[in-house]
Chains A and B, each alone.
Chain A
Amino acid sequence: EAGVAQSPRYKIIEKRQSVAFWCNPISGHATLYWYQQILGQGPKLLIQFQNNGVVDDSQLPKDRFSAERLKGVDSTLKIQPAKLEDSAVYLCASSAQGETQYFGPGTRLLVL
């Protein structure tokens, strides 16, 4: 089966600019996750969707980050305005029933 797809793979922006990432989960996976992985650290959950509803966004910096999954399939994560400390890899993951999460290749963001 096809894996989790993400785009773009790399993005370089200047601080205060905006950026958006896209994720297409594995077909049939109801749960979608966005993680932030700062260099040298483990992934940190930003937001979790169950179909098109938000299950957990407790660690999402809501003043600058937003995410949506309007039709319960694809999802976008947006940062506006970006800060230097947002430089990281943004990983999307999906899961079906149960806990096994499958990760996408990630989007590597560099904020200058």
Chain B
Amino acid sequence: GENVEQHPSTLSVQEGDSAVIKCTYSDSASNYFPWYKQELGKRPQLIIDIRSNVGEKKDQRIAVTLNKTAKHFSLHITETQPEDSAVYFCAASNSGFQKLVFGTGTRLLVSP
């Protein structure tokens, strides 16, 4: 089955810096890759997603890139703000089954 690895497990940056979180997946049939943000005690919330027919997607300060050949995808956050502090999860799925397999999470801390 699918296995998703996520790095780093923790990431500390200064406000205004960029942050990059990387994930690799094992199943070449996976074609949908969402990123979720989870604040302490809250539900995971979708922040951006990408499908395998696209190499990059941007939404304001957030971007995701996908390298299908290498089977890895990354989340990029520019001009980080303290409110970006949270745990970020990547996930992968084969859309035929819609089963999401999550990474282990990255705790991002943005210091003022």
Contacts and interface: CB of A to CB of B under 8 A. Distances in A.
B99 A42 contact: no
A45 to B, nearest CB: 6
Contacts of B89: 42-43
B104 interface: yes
B98 A99 contact: yes
Contacts of A105: 42-43
A48 B44 CA distance: 17
Contacts of A103: 36, 43-45
A29 B99 CA distance: 15
* Residue in B34, B98, B102, B103 whose Cβ sees the most chain A Cβ within 10 Å: B98
A43 B46 CA distance: 13
A62 interface: no
Interface residues of B, number: 24
Contacts of A41: 104-105
A55 interface: yes
A48 B43 contact: no
Interface string B38-58: 000011111001000000000
A95 B99 CA distance: 11
A101 interface: yes
B32 A99 contact: yes
B26 interface: no
Interface in A4-35: 31, 33
B93 interface: yes
Contacts of A42: 4, 6, 89, 91, 102-105
Given A100-B49, A105-B42, A45 B100 contact: yes
Interface string A91-112: 1000100111111111000000
7 smallest beta-carbon distances between A and B, as pairs: A42-B102, A103-B43, A99-B32, A103-B44, A42-B89, A105-B43, A43-B102
5 contacts: A42-B104, A45-B99, A99-B49, A99-B95, A106-B43
Interface of B: 4, 6, 32, 34, 36, 42-46, 49, 89, 91, 93, 95, 97-105
